[in-house]
Structure 1
Amino acid sequence: MDTITTSREIVKQVISDYAKLRPSHGNIRLDAIFDEMRDRYALMQVGWDRGKRVRGNLIYVIIENGKVIIEYDGMECGITQDLVKQGIPESDIVLAFLPDSQPVSIA
């Protein structure tokens, strides 16, 4: 398997594992969103908690030019270590949400 295919599978597995979690309160579901054609991967939360609508992005990752670019990570412990544990080298991960990161130029 080539590096991009491996990275794709790891990102999808990690996000799928998070999607199995259930929030401790409210009626909230977690939806894994995979766009393999454009290499965009997300985890969304949707539902209700204490009479208020809950919706939003928890994770947003793209794969571009051989790099796994974490655009947003709203998970308590972060997903970077999970990606590394599954086999993605730290050198291939860009934390684009940090000000001094140098994400790959996205056209």
Structure 2
Amino acid sequence: MDTSTRERDIVKQVIQRYAQFKPSHGHIRLDTVFDDTQNRYALMQVGWDRGRRVRGNLIYVTLSEGKVWVEYDGMEQGITKDLIAAGIPPERIVLAFLPEEQTAATA
């Protein structure tokens, strides 16, 4: 298995684990969105909480230029440590939501 396929599988496994969590309140569904053609992977929340509509990304990761780009991480503990623990080297992870001078992953 080549590196990009392995990293794609790891990203999907980590997101799928988060998708198993049940939000603590409201009627909210967690949906995985996996696009292997464009290397885009997301966890979305959709539903209702306290009479208000809830929708949007919780996680958004892309694979590009031989790196794993964490575009958005709305998880309390963050997914970077999970990605590293699953086998992605820290130097291949870019925290794209930080200013460019701070984009190296720190675990």
**Deviation per CA, 1:31-75, whole angstroms, max 9, x where unpaired?**
010000000000000000011000011000000121000000000
Q: CA deviation at 1:101?
A: 3.9
Distance across 2 between alignment mates of 1:77 and 1:102: 18
* Partner SS for 2:12: helix
SS in 1 for 2:88: coil
Determine what percentage of the aligned residue pairs are the same residue.
Answer: 66
Q: Which whole-Å CA distance do the structure 1 matches of 2:53 and 2:71 have between them? A: 24
* Counterpart-to-counterpart distance in 2, 1:50 and 1:72: 25
| Structure 2 unaligned regions, length at least 5 | none
Match of 1:90 in 2: 90
Runs of 5+ consecutive residues of structure 1 not aligned to the other structure = none
Mapped partners of 1:8, 1:60: distance in 2: 13
Number of equivalences:
103
1:49 corresponding residue in structure 2: 49
Task: Give the AA of the match of 1:22.
Answer: K
Structure 1 SS opposite 2:58:
strand
CA contact (8 A) 1:43 1:60 kept: yes
Paired with 2:78 and 2:63, the residues of 1 have a C-alpha distance of 17
1:1-107 equivalences in 2 (<5 Å): 1-99=1-99, 100-101=101-102
